[in-house]
Chains A and B, each alone.
Chain A
Amino acid sequence: MNSFDLNSLTIKRALELLNKGKISSLELTQACLERIKKIDPEVKAYLYVNEEWALEQARLADEKRRAGKQGKLLGIPLAIKDNILIKGHPTTCASKILQNYIAPYDATVILKLKEEGAIFLGKTNLDEFAMGSSTENSAFFPTKNPWDLERVPGGSSGGSAVAVACRMGLGALGSDTGGSIRQPACFCGVVGMKPTYSLVSRFGLVAFASSLDQIGPFALNIEDTALLLEVISGHDPYDSTSAPREVPVFTRSLQENKTSKFRIGIPKEYFEHELHPEVERNFEEMILLLKKLGHEVKEVSLPHTKYAVSVYYIIAPAEAASNLARYDGVKYGLRVEGKGLIEMYKKSRAEGFGREVKRRIMLGTYSLSAGYYDAFYLKASKVRTLIKQDFLKAFEEVDLVLTPVSPTPPFKLGEKVSNPLQMYLSDIFTIPVNLAGLPGLSLPSGFTEEHLPLGVQIIGPHFRDDLVLSLGYQMERELNLQNIPPIIKAL
């Protein structure tokens, strides 16, 4: 099996070949590591790659398989966003303040992946503390979009999206607070899903905004995405916000709903925003595709959409200000000495945090402070209720909602990073989904004339991740985009 074949495998196909003994996990992992050596210097998706560790895990997986042990992901190499803790390895959150932090425990999702035999290649780059939409806010370096190295891969889970797009791993995990899985998935031409809030445990995910964060999968197709989601989902006593519910067998749902017909809503307010013409054209093609598949497509109204960015950029920074208070130089992370305790706090945090993180901490501190709490945080939380109710009302008339993921195709590095508000406004389609706690998926839906990836978002009711995946599966089969990987021009 030559290197190229090993690098064009989906998780499902790799498992078939592994189970038949046609390939070994060692070969598969070596192929990924080769790929990382060749491609990652160009795209810089990874912050940490541990070859010895990966190969050791691969050998153990092969041994387990020979001994007849089973695992839903036995021997499959994955990339993990660097805000998810893997015991014994660095977790930096792409921040100087955690540059030397070694995780003392595993995140629950990591334990679940380990139990099913998955292998970890390393940790991927992100916007610092998951705050950003381009991975340009990483304290270490930006990640590049493999489809055009002068463009951003999206963020904050840019590294994970790029790892999968470039086949430097067969799947990946990211986190999504306002679009941080869906938008980079869209920009990189891979599938990315944010599950219903509470479906996946947040224990071991470095907290950004606790009422919005979710861990979710990246993969080359829906089947792989569904499998990853199945493995990482489930109630966790260590996360008191995790849902005490049974997890559906998502891979089975895809087959059961293969020909189901849905009522699909298109929110009219989303088109009151300026959409790049190619995004608009592609979206219209998706509507036609849905009709061709026999679904009913109708307009719905989400009247409070235009307030979503304000609501999010009040609530998320407020929660972040709270969650990032722990980075004080006392028990872990960067400590900068000062004349006394308060100065130690101030200097450690000033030196350890990047610009965007500080900006959001200050925004959050402001909206929670006395005199401003009512007008900002409380008000935003009330409007959040209205945004959630908009969706609940829409789901009385339709089963699923379809929207673009981003108003534009992937933008250039440096284009938005110096205009925070511009950057924030580009999250308009993904943010409401987190505010309402709904499941949302980004599916590759085509390319621009410059061969940049485009995607659509499928949104479902709470705990109907199965329907979201099912519609994605139907559309993917019809689109037949052939999963051609990006050609890195420099190579």
Chain B
Amino acid sequence: MGISFDEVKRIAHLARLELSEEEAQTYTDELSKILDYFASLKEVDTENVQPTFHPLTWDTPMREDEEKPFEDIEAILANAPEVWENMIVVPKVVKVP
């Protein structure tokens, strides 16, 4: 069954990954093998089984909605690709008419 080349390109777009044609082909082959292996899960009877999303659960812990200052803003900004004043510069996302 596997996965098709076109699906790989669609998934790459969803995952925001740019792939060359060659890479897309390699991933198609590799992912197909892996996905075929997963087919065995079909034979498991999970009729009345609840999914496990976390191995251990308890009530969601709550806390007071208090502001706590983070002392080292400079350290955070130091990792940003481009900074202006104390803001991170990003490409324009709003279309200007």
Enumerate chain A interface residues (CB-CB to B < 8 A): 87-88, 100-102, 104-105, 196-198, 211, 237, 240-241, 243-244, 304, 306-307, 309-311, 313-314, 321, 325, 328-335, 337-338, 340-347, 349-350, 353, 358-359, 361-363, 365-366, 369, 376, 378-386, 388, 420-421, 424, 435-438, 462
Determine if B38 is an interface residue (Cβ-Cβ < 8 Å): yes
> In whole angstroms, what is the CA distance A363 to B8 when docked?
10
B51: which of A87, A349, A361, A385 is its contact (CB, 8 Å)? A385
Q: Do the beta carbons of A349 and B11 come within 8 Å of each other?
A: no
Measured between beta carbons, the chain A residues less than 8 angstroms from B93 are 341
B75: which of A87, A335, A366 is its contact (CB, 8 Å)? A87
Measured between beta carbons, the chain A residues less than 8 angstroms from B56 are 196-198, 243, 437, 462
Closest Cβ neighbor of B13 among chain A residues: A346
Top 5 A-B pairs, shortest CB-CB distance? A437-B55, A381-B51, A104-B75, A335-B81, A382-B46
> In whole angstroms, what is the CA distance A379 to B41 when docked?
8
Q: Do the beta carbons of A361 and B15 come within 8 Å of each other?
A: yes
A362: which of B8, B46, B55 is its contact (CB, 8 Å)? B8
Nearest chain B CB to A321 CB, angstrom units: 7
Instruction: List 14 A-B residue pairs with CB atoms under 8 Å apart, sorted by A's residue number.
Output: A100-B79, A240-B61, A314-B38, A321-B15, A332-B80, A346-B16, A347-B18, A369-B14, A379-B44, A380-B38, A381-B51, A386-B44, A420-B30, A435-B55
> In whole angstroms, what is the CA distance A340 to B16 when docked?
13
Measured between beta carbons, the chain B residues less than 8 angstroms from A100 are 79
Q: How many residues of B contact A (CB 8 A)?
A: 49
> In whole angstroms, what is the CA distance A340 to B93 when docked?
7
Q: Do the beta carbons of A211 and B53 come within 8 Å of each other?
A: yes
Nearest chain B CB to A344 CB, angstrom units: 6
Q: Do the beta carbons of A342 and B16 come within 8 Å of each other?
A: yes
Closest Cβ neighbor of B51 among chain A residues: A381
B50: which of A101, A240, A382 is its contact (CB, 8 Å)? A382
> In whole angstroms, what is the CA distance A26 to B94 when docked?
57
Within 8 A of A (CB), among B9-32: 11-12, 14-19, 27, 30-31
> In whole angstroms, what is the CA distance A313 to B40 when docked?
13
> In whole angstroms, what is the CA distance A236 to B79 when docked?
26
> In whole angstroms, what is the CA distance A384 to B18 when docked?
32
Within 8 A of A (CB), among B63-97: 63, 70, 72, 75-76, 78-82, 88, 90-91, 93
From known contacts A331-B80, A335-B81, A341-B90, infer whether A350 and B18 are also in contact, taking CB-CB under 8 Å: yes
Nearest chain A CB to B28 CB, angstrom units: 10
> In whole angstroms, what is the CA distance A335 to B60 when docked?
36
Given contacts A314-B41, A341-B91, 5 further A-B contacts (CB under 8 A): A102-B75, A240-B61, A325-B16, A332-B80, A358-B17
> In whole angstroms, what is the CA distance A424 to B58 when docked?
31
Closest Cβ neighbor of A245 among chain B residues: B58
> In whole angstroms, what is the CA distance A343 to B16 when docked?
8
Nearest chain A CB to B68 CB, angstrom units: 11
Measured between beta carbons, the chain A residues less than 8 angstroms from B7 are 366
Q: Do the beta carbons of A105 and B72 come within 8 Å of each other?
A: yes
Closest Cβ neighbor of A388 among chain B residues: B52
Q: Do the beta carbons of A379 and B46 come within 8 Å of each other?
A: yes
> In whole angstroms, what is the CA distance A369 to B38 when docked?
16
A211: which of B40, B54, B60, B63 is its contact (CB, 8 Å)? B54
A340: which of B18, B41, B91 is its contact (CB, 8 Å)? B91
Measured between beta carbons, the chain B residues less than 8 angstroms from A363 are 31, 34-35
Q: Do the beta carbons of A328 and B60 come within 8 Å of each other?
A: no
Measured between beta carbons, the chain B residues less than 8 angstroms from A343 are 18
Measured between beta carbons, the chain B residues less than 8 angstroms from A87 are 72, 75
Closest Cβ neighbor of A317 among chain B residues: B34
Measured between beta carbons, the chain B residues less than 8 angstroms from A379 are 41-42, 44, 46
Q: Do the beta carbons of B88 and A345 come within 8 Å of each other?
A: no
Measured between beta carbons, the chain B residues less than 8 angstroms from A332 are 76, 79-81
